[in-house]
Amino acid sequence: MSSKDMMSFASHIIPLVTETPRPQLYETSLRPLEVLSSNFTEVLRLRISDESKISEAQGAWKVFNDAVLSQEGTATISNGLSVNLPEKMVFSAIGWNYLEVSGVESRT
């Protein structure tokens, strides 16, 4: 606990742990249960600093999601847009039934 690496880690994590929680609400395309019931869930967020670019960002997100589904047809994907954050965020949650790690499939 007294190593330099731990002190460095602590300096980055302490503000996150002690900060007042701020719930993040998103209007999504699927109910959370449809994605979160998968064996593995990956959450991706993209901050939109210019609100005039929201449609463009959502279009790019759709291209990404379509590419994921073309490679892994059993994935479940929910998309959304933040509703209560100071800056808009595009959100995607991908539910995977299994992961491939170093070329070896891990199925559950």
Sheet holding 40-48, edge to edge: 26-28, 76-82, 88-96, 40-48
Average pLDDT rounded to a whole number, residues 9-27: 80
pLDDT digits (tens, 9 = 90+) for 33-69: 888 888 888 888 888 888 888 899 888 888 988 888 8
Average pLDDT rounded to a whole number, residues 14-29: 81
pLDDT at 107: 53
Indicate the average pLDDT of the chain: 81
d(CA 30, CA 94): 11
Sign of the dihedral through C-alpha 83, 89, 90, 91: negative
Q: Quick check: helix, strand or coil at residue 28?
A: strand
pLDDT at 85: 87
Q: pTM here?
A: 0.66
- Quick one: tokens of 4? 């330099």
